[in-house]
Structure 1
Amino acid sequence: MGHDGVIMRTDDGGDTWQLQTSGQDLLRQQLSDLEQAIQGESDAGIREDWQWQLEDLQVSFEEGVMPTLLGLMFLNRQQGYVLGAYGVLFRTDDGGRSWVSLGHTLPNPDRLHLNAMLQGQDGRMLLAGEAGLLLYSDDQGLNWQPAASPYEGSFFALAESDRFYLLGLRGHLFSSTDGIDWQPERVATRASLNGAITRDGQLYLLGQGGVVLQRQAQGFVPVQPVPRFSYTAGLLLDERLLLAGEGGVHRVELSELTQGGAQ
Structure 2
Amino acid sequence: MTKPLMAMKAACALLTLAVLPSAWGFKDPLDLPAMMAPKAAKALMLNVTSHESNVLVVGERGIVLKKDMAAADPATGVKDADGRVWTQAQVPTSVNLTSAVFASPSVAYVVGHDGVVLKSTDAGLTWSRVFDGHKANEQVVAAAKKKMEAFQAKYDAASPAEQDAMSEALEAATFAFEDAEAGARFGPSRPMLDVWFKDENTGWVVGSYGQIFETTDGGANWTLVADRLNNPDFRHYNGLYGDSTGLMLIAGEAGRVYKSTDFAQTWERMDTGYIGHFYGTAVTRNAAGEPTIFAYGFGGNVYRLGPNASAWWQLKSPTKESLVQGLNVGNKVMFVDQKGRLVATDESGTALTMVLKDEGKPVTGMAQVGDTFVYSAQGGPRVVNVPR
Tell me the amino acid that sits aligned with residue 366 of structure 2. G
Deviation at 1:22, TM superposition (A): 1.9
Matched, 1:207 2:352: no
The residue that corresponds to 1:23 in the other structure is 133
Determine which of 116, 120, 127 is the counterpart of 2:250.
Answer: 127
Q: Deviations over 1:218-258 (max 9, x none)?
A: 9433343645233232222111111113322110134xx79
Deviation at 1:209, TM superposition (A): 1.7
- What secondary structure does 1:26 align onto? helix
The farther-off stretch of 203-212 and 180-189 is: 180-189
Aligned pairs for 1:26-45 (under 5 A) are 26-39=136-149, 44=155, 45=166
Matched, 1:190 2:320: yes
The separation in 2 between residues aligned to 1:47 and 1:27, in whole angstroms, is: 22
The farther-off stretch of 47-56 and 15-24 is: 47-56
Aligned-pair RMSD on alpha carbons?
2.6
Percent identity over paired residues: 24
The separation in 1 between residues aligned to 2:268 and 2:177, in whole angstroms, is: 23
The residue that corresponds to 1:261 in the other structure is none
The separation in 2 between residues aligned to 1:81 and 1:51, in whole angstroms, is: 27
Aligned pairs for 1:112-261 (under 5 A) are 112-119=235-242, 122-162=245-285, 163-178=292-307, 181-216=311-346, 219-224=351-356, 226-254=358-386
- What secondary structure does 1:33 align onto? helix
The farther-off stretch of 182-191 and 201-210 is: 201-210
Q: Is the 8 A contact 2:272 2:303 kept in 1?
A: no
Deviation at 1:128, TM superposition (A): 2.0
The separation in 2 between residues aligned to 1:243 and 1:52, in whole angstroms, is: 41
The separation in 2 between residues aligned to 1:36 and 1:76, in whole angstroms, is: 32
The separation in 2 between residues aligned to 1:175 and 1:107, in whole angstroms, is: 21
Q: Deviations over 1:44-70 (max 9, x none)?
A: 555543332221121222232522111
Residues 1:217 and 1:105: Cα distance change in structure 2 (over 3 Å): closer
Q: Is the 8 A contact 2:334 2:343 kept in 1?
A: yes
Deviation at 1:43, TM superposition (A): 5.8
Tell me the amino acid that sits aligned with residue 16 of structure 1. T
Q: Is the 8 A contact 1:27 1:66 kept in 2?
A: no
Tell me the amino acid that sits aligned with residue 187 of structure 1. S
Residues 1:53 and 1:114: Cα distance change in structure 2 (over 3 Å): same
The separation in 2 between residues aligned to 1:57 and 1:147, in whole angstroms, is: 26
Deviation at 1:214, TM superposition (A): 3.0
Matched, 1:52 2:182: no
Q: Deviations over 1:139-172 (max 9, x none)?
A: 3322323223131111111011242111021111
TM-score by length of 1: 0.85
Aligned residues: 256
The farther-off stretch of 215-224 and 129-138 is: 215-224
TM-score by length of 2: 0.59
Residues 1:217 and 1:62: Cα distance change in structure 2 (over 3 Å): closer
Matched, 1:73 2:196: yes
- Higher RCO structure (Cα 8 Å, ≥6 apart): 2
Q: Is the 8 A contact 2:363 2:375 kept in 1?
A: yes
The separation in 1 between residues aligned to 2:224 and 2:170, in whole angstroms, is: 16
Residues 1:126 and 1:54: Cα distance change in structure 2 (over 3 Å): same
Tell me the amino acid that sits aligned with residue 254 of structure 2. A
The separation in 2 between residues aligned to 1:238 and 1:124, in whole angstroms, is: 25
The unaligned stretches of length 5 or more in structure 2 are: 1-110, 156-165, 286-291
Quick check: which has more Rg, 1 or 2? Answer: 2
Tell me the amino acid that sits aligned with residue 149 of structure 1. T
Residues 1:43 and 1:12: Cα distance change in structure 2 (over 3 Å): farther
- What secondary structure does 2:246 align onto? coil
